[in-house]
Every structure is written in structure tokens, then in C-alpha cells.
Structure 1
């Protein structure tokens, strides 16, 4: 069998046309190894041959490489040291509001930077304010795996990381900041209030300013959450196909006792199923409901939905110290994350499976919708915490 170094050299070799002025198109793949030996051999070859850019992902014993578009990776896949060669798939955040880069719809009651405090309809609908006199999710560590979190007077950020390039974890899109506000906007005298206003927010930036990211960045983000002992991870994004690497990390986080919430997807009634990671049984898959007590038309349907939560016209924190109203299962998911923080504050011994069970057992079913649309029904944080 050919040596790993030789196979890497052949796969990474640029075709003759690459010598021309126009650079060759490249494709991103993760090389995942069975053992530490293969992982280290790969890194040694890449460094010796000054192959850049690449990323070492220790938690998976994987290396991210960029291969020429038409490179034949079959010999690498068949090498004894290689566990798999996986495309580093691109994925998007799950909001159906304004497209990235455009202006968000300003909420009527949140038009200024410091408006009098309002309780968003979604927070009120799940009953979170009924708990605030005794439970606001104090010090429960919640990671927002998203576009980052912007500095905002209505948010208190405890820390964060950027897994894209190691730079700032500040938000340059708006999505992550909006999600963070629904989870834990402060219970002060202005702006909005989140489901768990005293939870500790952590920004795990794995998506760029356009709301796109790669599996490799998510893998590193989840690994950071495990190493830094996060208790809840909010995942308001989706992938149409399964990623074995993402699956591995979801399982690892779940085994470490982390509650994982995931948005179901925005593909509507004819979606044919949920997006990943919401399809994974370790997650709490969240559909979107409306103020009128319906399941939102954009909310994906399919087996595996656990609960629904408010996801239309959701007012929350945004860029430039402002507030905005957005739609999407992205906006529904953080209601579940905030509820998880309240549950863990009420009973720190709860397992992820028990948190999910409590949410489902206390949800309010909507008339006229099957479990394929709403799961057990609309989230009820107040009832769930009473049973914790």
C-alpha cells in the first residue's frame, strides 16, 4: 500500500492548468484518522511540504485540507490509517427574516436604542416571567453557536471564541445577537427580557457575516463547549445531509451532560423532514409557532420534532445596540435554550434526557396539528420548572 505521505502529495497536487494566472478551484475535505499515528503523519507531511491553508482538529483526530476540485480521493479513503474522508459541508443559519447584510425589521416597541422594557410575546407565551421572582437561570452557562454576539447594553457576555479564524467572537451579522437576547436579555428597565435573564452567555462564533459556516468550524465550537463546561448549546442552523463529524461531536457533548437545542428548519410543510442537527436524537428539536397559536408556515415538518416555541415576529437584541423583529425556527430554538437554563437552575442534577422529557411532558398541544408539525406542543417553561 502506498504511504500516506505519497497519497497526500498526489491528491493535493495542482493540475498543470493551476500554473496559469487563474487559481484552481479547491474543495474542502476532512481527513479523519483511526489513530493518533495517522493524524500526526498527516500533519507532518503538510508542514514539511508547507501546504497551507489547513486546520488541525485534534478532538476528531482530523485534518482539514483543500484539494483541487477534480482530485481523486479514493486512494486516501482506502488507506488503512484513514477512518473517513468527509466533505466539509457548508451550512446556514435558520432565520427567514431579512437576508444577511440587509436591514432588519425594527420592532415597533423597540425603535430606539433604550426603549422602555417590554416582555416579548414569545417570552410571555412560554410563561418564563412567572418564574422570575425565584428563578432567572442564574449562572447557567449557555453557549450560542452562531455568528457571535455583539456588545449590547441589554446583554452580558461572559466569554467566547471564534473558530473560523481565531479572531473576535463579536457578531457581524445580527443573528447570534438576536438569539442571545431571546435566551438571556437582561431583566432591567429597558429593551427586552430573555427567558433566562441571569444565565451566563458565551459567544461561539462559527458563522461569518453572511450567516454561513462549515462543519469543521462547528466541530471545533462544540469541542470548545465541552472543554469549557457549557451546560446548554443553542444551535439555530441547519444542514440538509448528515455529517458524521458533526454527529460525533453532538454525541460527545450529550455524553458530557450538555443540553443541545436545535432549530427544526425553515423548509415548510413539504420539507420532507428536519434539518441536521435537529434530526439527531440527542438534540431537542424545536419547531416555530405563531402568536395566533398556529405552527408557522415556514417551519419544517417531520418525525423527530420535540416541541414548538414562538418563532414569528420575535423581538430581540440586534446589532448597533438596537432591537429587531425576526422570523424563523432560529428564533424558536433559543426559547428552549432559555427554558433549559431555568430547569438546570431549578435542579442542577437534571440530565439532557430529563430536560427534554420535562419540556415534552408539559408542552401545550395545538389543535389541528400532528406531532410531525409541533412535537408534543408549545413549550411551557413555567410548568416544566415546577416539575423539575
Structure 2
């Protein structure tokens, strides 16, 4: 499975095996000069060397699409170019732990997402960190073609920072997540940016066994086994907390790895 992380790039790290990538900002290096993309990448695919953290799907082909700068900011045009690069390279899954607000809604970005979905690419994105009072989630997570991910805490509650809205599909861990960081180090971060790659990795595992699944069918499979969290509406958690060990048949050869 080929998984692309559209973010700030991915840094060289002993726990990450990067298959390739692109810099859509200026055509330079796709190395991470912020840290965010490296952290996201580790949640998906960290190798777990020397008993360090291991990603959800450590055997995927991991690709860095650097569309955000050292400040974690960027232009929609660079993100769109990154999506089109993913289409041309036949990615299976795209993770976008990024968002634009509703006031900056972009038809161009939505068109690019539609193109990717039509090519069978599963697209996963973070819901946003606007909290309990929010009435909508970030784009591109809000698009119907995207699996929008909310964040849960270690106590299996919806994180207070996690955005709420009718487009939430599923929930995954997003509080104090330990992952890879530039400089061959590790760091804990919180946010829906951390919950999204858990689902992206889960989608890659699912597709590795069921390669004919469409993006919509993959979303359905991930959601159908999720566990509803008590006292939270669908606007907060979608279908509930993702349960990868329930998706695969117990006789399957897939090795489902649980985070420590």
C-alpha cells in the first residue's frame, strides 16, 4: 500500500522508511522543516526499531508531499498540486492533517479531492481543533469524499479541542500521542492531526486485504465496527472509536498492532 502524507514534509529518521516524495512549494527538498509531518508519518508507519514506537501500518510505502512551509502554512494551490501528484503516482491512501476554515472554502481543493476519490484513493483528514462550541469541521475533512476524523482522549472521551460537525465519520486517539520527530527524536503532540493518521494507517491495512474496496466502501468498513462512546453525539464522534481488531477476521493473516 502506498500512503502519502500531505503536510510539512517528512524528516529522515531511523524509525521511518520514506519511499519518495515531492515539494510542491518550490520544487526543493521534501524534508520536514517544521516537525508536524514527521510526527504524522510516524503514527502511520513508524518501524518500531529498538523497541521504539511502532506505527499502525509499518510496512506501507510512505511518501512525503511537502505542501506546507516551516510555519505549517501553505497555499491551496500547493495542496492541490500535491493531490494531483498522488493521483499520478497511484497512491492508495492520502492523509491530510490540515484544514482551512469554512470562510476560506475552496472549490478548487474540493475538485482535486473528487479527482482523487474517483481514482480510488482513500482520503483521510483531521476534523479540526476548534472545540466543543464549533458547529462545523475544517475542509477538506468536511467534504463527503473524505473520512473526517475526530480525536479521543486516553480516557476514551472526545477531546475538548476536537471540532464538532455533521461530517465527522470516525474517532481515533489524539491526546498526547508519541511519535517521530526531526533530529532522530520523539515527541508527544495532541490534536485531530494525530487522530487522522491512525485512520489513514487503518485504511491502508484494510485495503491491503481488500484491494477492490472503493473509498466509500472502505469508509463504511472502518465505521461499521467502531464503538460508540457514551454521552457523545454523532456530531462529536461520528460512528465512534475505530476498532481495527474488529475489522479483520480472527483467521486473517493481517498482524494488527496495538499502540502501547
Q: In which range does the TM-score fall when normalised by the shorter chain?
A: over 0.9
* Number of positions where the alignment pairs a residue of Structure 1 with one of Structure 2: 249
Contact 1:342 1:385 in 2 (8 A): no
**Mapped pair 1:225 → 2:86:** yes
Q: 239, 242, 251: which one pairs with 1:379? A: 242
What SS does the aligned partner of 2:149 have? Answer: strand
Tell me the CA shift for residue 204 of structure 1.
0.1
Tell me, which stretches of 5 or more residues in structure 1 are unaligned?
A: 1-139
Tell me the CA shift for residue 385 of structure 1.
2.9
What SS does the aligned partner of 2:49 have? Answer: coil
Residues in 2 aligned to 1:375 and 1:297: alpha-carbon distance in whole angstroms:
15
Please list, as runs of the form range in 1=range in 2, the aligned pairs for 1:64-143 lying within 5 A after superposition: 140-143=1-4
Tell me, which stretches of 5 or more residues in structure 2 are unaligned?
A: 253-260
Structural RMSD (CA): 1.1
Tell me the CA shift for residue 303 of structure 1.
0.4
Deviations 1:183-232 (CA, angstroms, capped at 9, x unpaired): 00014333210000101100000000000011000010000000000000
Residues in 2 aligned to 1:219 and 1:196: alpha-carbon distance in whole angstroms:
25
Deviations 1:332-363 (CA, angstroms, capped at 9, x unpaired): 00000000010011111111111100111000
Residues in 2 aligned to 1:273 and 1:349: alpha-carbon distance in whole angstroms:
32
Tell me the CA shift for residue 272 of structure 1.
1.5
Residues in 2 aligned to 1:321 and 1:256: alpha-carbon distance in whole angstroms:
35
Contact 1:143 1:230 in 2 (8 A): yes
What SS does the aligned partner of 1:325 have? Answer: strand
- Residue 21 (structure 1) aligns with: none
- Residue 53 (structure 2) aligns with: 192
Please list, as runs of the form range in 1=range in 2, the aligned pairs for 1:154-169 lying within 5 A after superposition: 154-169=15-30
Contact 1:155 1:184 in 2 (8 A): yes
Tell me the CA shift for residue 316 of structure 1.
0.2
Q: 124, 141, 150: which one pairs with 2:11? A: 150
- The structure with the larger Rg is 1
Contact 1:182 1:316 in 2 (8 A): yes
- Residue 76 (structure 1) aligns with: none
- Residue 265 (structure 1) aligns with: 128
Residues in 2 aligned to 1:191 and 1:275: alpha-carbon distance in whole angstroms:
32
Residues in 2 aligned to 1:267 and 1:386: alpha-carbon distance in whole angstroms:
37
TM-score (norm 2): 0.94
Deviations 1:74-116 (CA, angstroms, capped at 9, x unpaired): xxxxxxxxxxxxxxxxxxxxxxxxxxxxxxxxxxxxxxxxxxx
What SS does the aligned partner of 1:189 have? Answer: helix
Tell me the CA shift for residue 384 of structure 1.
1.8
Residues in 2 aligned to 1:197 and 1:179: alpha-carbon distance in whole angstroms:
13
Deviations 1:216-264 (CA, angstroms, capped at 9, x unpaired): 0001000000000000000000111320100100000000000000100
Q: 158, 165, 177: which one pairs with 1:302? A: 165
Q: 262, 267, 286: which one pairs with 2:149? A: 286
Deviations 1:273-318 (CA, angstroms, capped at 9, x unpaired): 1110011000000000000010000000010100000000000000
